[in-house]
Structure 1
Amino acid sequence: MYAVIQTGGKQYRVEEGTYLKVEKLELGTGDSIEFDKVLMFQSDDAVKIGVP
């Protein structure tokens, strides 16, 4: 299972349980954030395309 998100003008492929270092966000190490621009989500055999 993975998703493609957009933040800071860039796109990232992310997976559950992994860490992502992004630019232009003022957060401390270990802080959590929710991303509202999900471009694609893939789970098992289903793929969903989002609209940012």
Structure 2
Amino acid sequence: PRSIPLARIAECEEVASLVTYLASDLAHFVNGTMIEIDGGQQKPLMDRFRDR
């Protein structure tokens, strides 16, 4: 995965940790957002849009 800055695909446990957090009371204020679990793969694209 050369295109992924962290150089690896997420482990199932890492994805499950986010799901567990979002389902918990700790995330009661998180709503209406999209959370990418992509190891930073979208960062270069977002940087290009930010620089415009």
- Give the TM-score band, short-chain normalised: under 0.3
Larger Rg: 2
Q: With structure 2 as the length reference, what TM-score do the two structures score? A: 0.20
Q: With structure 1 as the length reference, what TM-score do the two structures score? A: 0.20
Structure having the higher helix fraction is: 2
Structure having the higher strand fraction is: 1
